[in-house]
A and B are shown apart, each in its own frame.
Chain A
Amino acid sequence: MSDALRTCLLACGLVVLAAGCDADDDGAATVVDFWALGREGEVVERLVPAFEERTPGVRVRVQQIPWSAAREKLITALVAGTMPDVFQLGSTWVAEFLALGAIEPLAAPRFPAPAGGDDFFAGILEANVIDGTTWGLPWYVDTRVLFYRSDLLSRTGCRAPRTWDEWLGCMEAVRREASGDAFAILLPLTEWETPVILAMQSGATLLRDDDQRGNFQSAEFRRAFTLYLSLFERGLAPRGGEATAANVYQGFAEGTFSFLVTGPWNLSQFRERLPASLARAWATAPMPAPDGRWPGVSLAGGASLALWRGSKVKDAAWRWMQYLVEPAQQAELNRLAGDLPARASAWRELALDRGEHTSAFWLQLQHVRPTPRIPEWERIAAEIGRRAEAAIRGVETVDQALAALDENVDRILAKRRWLRARAARERAGDAP
């Protein structure tokens, strides 16, 4: 207890000191507070000096927030009124922070689209647009593609699969070829991403009635969900999930599995953590499609920059945001943190579109789709993961899991339906 108290006092003291120091060398400068998450929070500091040099009178103060606590911290700050002027957020959170009234709409004339901004990836930009208004600037992008062991695949005569059937055949072949306890693909049990990608490919709309109810018992979602579960039933994916391998990289290196559906953060991890002998034995490919229209769609993800509605230095903050999304800064962020730029011009500048492992992302990013843009999405996504896990473990049948999913999602969306109905009543009341 007394330790906690001491820490608290120390922290308070430091804050006071820091505030004192700032006041000293700021003079009349405008200070833009910026919250960056995870790895970006560590490196973005290095982009600050060039900005401050270019924009006299504006200083940027970066605060690093870990990803795991980011949503909670941002919402707490919002309630307390201590939001930063600019903040990084997952592009799937935009709707949530919009509902909270935290984000300033980015509309002309005050906040015009960035110069030459037509080279943002369309699917990613779309994730930041709700009801026709732009709420965030894409900072870097993120989607999921296939990572696979090219050496093990070529041994079976497979090429990177382009359809679901090819993919399944390839996984069967790889497993037949491999030694006893190997699998073909590693799918973490509670992950919602892979079943949702398959569902999007199969043409499912996850929600219906203007995103007010779950639509998980539709034929399209069922088809994708059944395919996903069949990977476990056929023994292609381990029912033990991630615990099957000591860690993903070791399991991949040992050939415990040959496929992963994962994102750009694993590019650098694979380079660093796989043994040197396997450096040329892995490759990436865009997602297979259910039919001939390759590549299949994947998730539009990544991080966006948003402007706090209550900021007192919106113009300075806006300049900082625009600076960060310039192709040159995006390229620099890629060099510092490995993030994939949100703009095609930065890709070309870095030759990522032709890169050995990045070209698959380049292709995939032309075929990405955002998840439903409603504040409840994070919770719905977690629910999909939980029901998928129950079905994989055999606790629930496909029918039970999908019925439970619809029921739970309907309950999650109950407040949304009520708000919509009230808004409709008010409109009807105004009309006559």
Chain B
Amino acid sequence: MTELRSRAPYVLVAPALLAIGAFFFVPILAALALSATDFDLYALADPDNLRVVGLDNYARLLADPVFRTALANTTYFVVVAAPLSIAVSLGAALLVSARLTRFPSLFRTVFFLPVVTTLVAAAVVWRYLYHPRLGLLNRALAWLGIAPIDWLGDPAWAMPAIILMSVWKNFGFNMVIFVAGLQSIPTRLYEAASIDGAGPVARFLHVTAPMLAPTFTFVALMTMIGDFQLFSEPYVMTQGGPGDATLSVVLLMYREGFRWWNLGYAAATAFVLFIIILVLTSVALALRKRAAGAAEGAAATNAGAGAATAGAGA
């Protein structure tokens, strides 16, 4: 009986572990091995043409100006798009959760629509919007007396164009998580604050913000991780151009791996990106933990509520 009971959990988790092992850890280990070779078109034809090169791929990668460009572009995207996307989704969440808003579920749906739209279809429409001569955006600018911008053709404007579209496409998802976070804040806290004479701004700063902090951390981390993996938007809109201005690390990896079949080099690119994301995530979590530790008393209850929200969101 006790034996069965001690074995049961392992039996129950075994299928999940097996699936994760076979479809997650084995490929990762294979990719790690691949990144230590010069696996390419020739090796694809004949395994004899494969050379084990150790860390050579990584050394080449770090010295590769194209990789540095891709990393700089990706960082640009993360630094601008992630805060912008979080701000927009928080704003939208506050708006659709406000008591004065009529038809909140209608607006929630409308704001969420871009998330479920096929990216390729949306990209086609956005390409029309961005067209230098016929696009709606430049028409609007002309109406304001601003000279037309070659959105996707000018290296300086291509990344902002990608950011704008990406924020539009993705903010709805974070908005839903924020809405869930807002709903988990007990109404009595707002009532108590009102009785104490807090206005809307004070209520936001002293009730909403601290209660939403764990949700905020979760959303910020997920957005950062997602944004580092920028691929589809430039792949569909610009193919990395003009002049590599929108080339992201994942797009570079795709190009090396599946266009030129330098799978060893592409695998090394993937691992470098993985390490960057891992380090940044750990730093962010450590910072969060320290902040939480500093504000022990109040935060303890919040974190509990927030973790539940984050769990529901995930």
Contact = CB atoms under 8 A, between A and B. Distances in A.
Interface residues of A, number: 27
A322 interface: no
Given A100-B44, A419-B49, A240 B150 contact: yes
B133 A246 contact: yes
A379 interface: yes
A101 B153 contact: no
A101 B134 contact: no
Interface residues of B, number: 25
B313 interface: no
Interface in A366-393: 375, 378-379, 386, 389-390, 393
A100 B45 contact: yes
Contacts of A389: 241-243
Given A75-B261, A240-B150, A243-B152, A375 B46 contact: no
B153 A243 contact: yes
Nearest to A241: B153
Interface string A375-418: 10011000000100110010100000000000000000001001
Given A240-B150, A389-B243, A415 B40 contact: yes
A36 B157 CA distance: 38
A243 B243 contact: no
A329 interface: no
Contacts of A79: 44
A96 B49 contact: no
Contacts of B46: 101
Interface string B77-106: 000000000000000000000000000000
A31 to B, nearest CB: 27
**Which DSSP category, helix, strand, loop or mixed, fits chain A's interface?**
helix
A246 B131 contact: yes
Interface in B145-192: 150, 152-153, 155
A246 B134 contact: yes
A96 B258 CA distance: 14
B259 interface: yes
A180 to B, nearest CB: 16
Contact of A99 (B42, B133, B152): B42
Interface string B241-267: 111100000000000001111000000
A430 interface: no
Interface string B128-144: 00011110000000000
A393 B44 contact: no
Contacts of A101: 45-46
B252 to A, nearest CB: 13
Name, among B38, B45, B51, B153, the residue most crowded by chain A CB atoms within 10 Å (CB to CB). B45
Given A100-B44, A240-B153, A375-B41, A393 B243 contact: yes
A418 B56 CA distance: 16
Interface string A81-109: 00000000000000010011100000000
Nearest to B244: A386
Contacts of A241: 153, 242
Interface in A2-30: none
Interface string B13-37: 0000000000000000000000000
Interface in A179-210: 189-190
Interface string B222-252: 0000000000000000000111100000000
A421 to B, nearest CB: 12
Contacts of A240: 132, 150, 153
A240 B153 CA distance: 7
B41 A100 contact: yes
Given A72-B258, A189-B242, A190-B241, A393 B155 contact: yes
Nearest to A418: B51
A99 B155 CA distance: 37
A246 B259 CA distance: 29
Contacts of B150: 240, 243
Contacts of B155: 393
Nearest to A412: B260
A75 B133 contact: no
B208 to A, nearest CB: 32
Nearest to B150: A243
A418 B38 CA distance: 12
Name, among A99, A189, A243, A379, the residue most crowded by chain B CB atoms within 10 Å (CB to CB). A243
Interface string A163-178: 0000000000000000
The 4 closest A-B pairs by CB, nearest first: A243-B153, A100-B45, A101-B45, A379-B260
24 contacts: A72-B258, A72-B259, A75-B44, A99-B42, A101-B46, A189-B242, A240-B153, A241-B153, A243-B152, A243-B153, A246-B131, A246-B133, A375-B41, A375-B42, A378-B260, A386-B243, A389-B241, A389-B243, A390-B243, A393-B243, A395-B243, A415-B40, A415-B42, A419-B42
Given A190-B241, A241-B153, A242-B153, 9 more contacts: A75-B44, A101-B46, A189-B242, A240-B150, A243-B132, A246-B133, A389-B241, A389-B242, A393-B243
